[in-house]
Every structure is written in C-alpha cells, then in structure tokens.
Amino acid sequence: KKRYALGSRWSKTELTYKIINRTPDLPADEVDRIITESIEKWADVSRLTFTLVTSGDADILISFAAGSHGDDGPFDGPGGVLAHAYYPSSNAIGGDAHFDEDEDYTDASSRGINMEWVAVHEFGHSLGLGHSQIEGAVMYPYYTGYVPNFQLNSDDIAGIQAHYGENVGE
C-alpha cells in the first residue's frame, strides 16, 4: 500500500503554536494537555521543537468552529469530516488546524471522537504530511475509533523524518 505522502515543509524546525479557543466538550486544562501531547509526538521522532505561545502570532493556530468558519472549507455538522489543517506556507493560514466543534471530543473513552487522535492527524498536515493508505497510520484519512495509548505508526515516523530528520536528542 502507498505509504506516507509529503506536502510542503517548514524551512525551520523551531515552531510556535497558539490555542485560539477550546472545545467545551472537555475541561480547558485537558484540551491544552491533549494539544501539547499531540504536537510533541511529532517532536519526539524528529528534529522539530514546539513552543506554546499565548500572545502574538504563531506558526500553527489551533481553533474549534462549526459550519462555515471563514475559510473555504465549511464543516458539515456532527460526523462526516472531523477536522482539517493547512500545509506549511508563508500565508497566514499555513499550518493552521481547525476542529469541527459539532463533534463530541473525548479523552480516554471509546465514546465520541478521540481528541488526541484527531489532533495528531491534523498536526501531521500542519507539518507537511499528506494522507497515508496504511490503515494503522495516524495519517490514514479515516477515523477508525479510539486506540488506548496509541503511538505513531512507523509510516508516520518515516514521513516526518523525510521532512525534518531524526531526533538527535540533546
């Protein structure tokens, strides 16, 4: 099966991210923790580093919205498309991740939609990964349900390392 796909990449490895708003489905501190843990999964296996910023601009802007939300990709209500994100680019929307607020985001539950899985997938796009046809890959285009303690698939890791190299530790 076709493995990972690559879109544009950032020309730098130190990236910033900012949480614009949060789903009310989970406590705010849990949303923040899930977002940070999700983006750090990609840093764990590459030379990327991420800094959360709370004011000013950032490379990756993270927001939740329902229906039409100011870009050319209106969301579709509960189910269907869960979220989308933009490949790296110099324009403002590059790298940004949008989550469909009409989903019921959950954590550590088979109910609803697992926030972490969706976040890891979207941040993959924010970093320049396309979709993979490997069913177990987080970059697979279909949400296949809650996976406790899920890890990046080897295909996901190969993809991010193709763009940003291996993590060489401190």
For β-strands 49-52 and 60-65, DSSP reports them as: unpaired
Residues 130 to 159 in contact with ligand RRS, rule: CB under 6 A: 141-143
How far is C-alpha 88 from the chain's CA centre? Answer: 12
Q: Can you read off the two tokens belonging to residue 94?
A: 């590059």
Contact with ligand RRS (CB under 6 A) among 15, 39, 62, 85: 85
Catalytic residue among 30, 37, 122, 170: 122
Candidates 18-26, 59-67, 100-108, 122-130; binding stretch for Ca ion (CB under 5 A): 100-108
Give the integer Cα–Cα distance in Å for 71 and 166. 34
Choose among ligand RRS, Ca ion, none what residue 62 binds, the Cβ cut-off being 5 to 8 Å by kind. Answer: none
- Cβ 118 vs Cβ 83: under 8 Å: yes
Choose among ligand RRS, Ca ion, none what residue 157 binds, the Cβ cut-off being 5 to 8 Å by kind. Answer: none
Based on the residue annotation, tell me whether 166 is a catalytic residue of this protein. no
Give the integer Cα–Cα distance in Å for 109 and 141. 21
Contact with ligand RRS (CB under 6 A) among 3, 13, 84, 106: 84
Place of tokens 């890959």: 137
Choose among Ca ion, ligand RRS, none what residue 143 binds, the Cβ cut-off being 5 to 8 Å by kind. Answer: ligand RRS
Give the integer Cα–Cα distance in Å for 124 and 132. 11
For β-strands 83-85 and 113-114, DSSP reports them as: unpaired
Place of tokens 């939609």: 113
CB nearer ligand RRS, residue 32 or residue 102: 102
Contact with ligand RRS (CB under 6 A) among 45, 118, 129, 134: 118
For binding to Ca ion (CB under 5 A), which residues are involved? 76, 80-81, 100
For binding to ligand RRS (CB under 6 A), which residues are involved? 79-85, 118, 121-122, 125, 141-143
Catalytic residues, by residue number, are 122
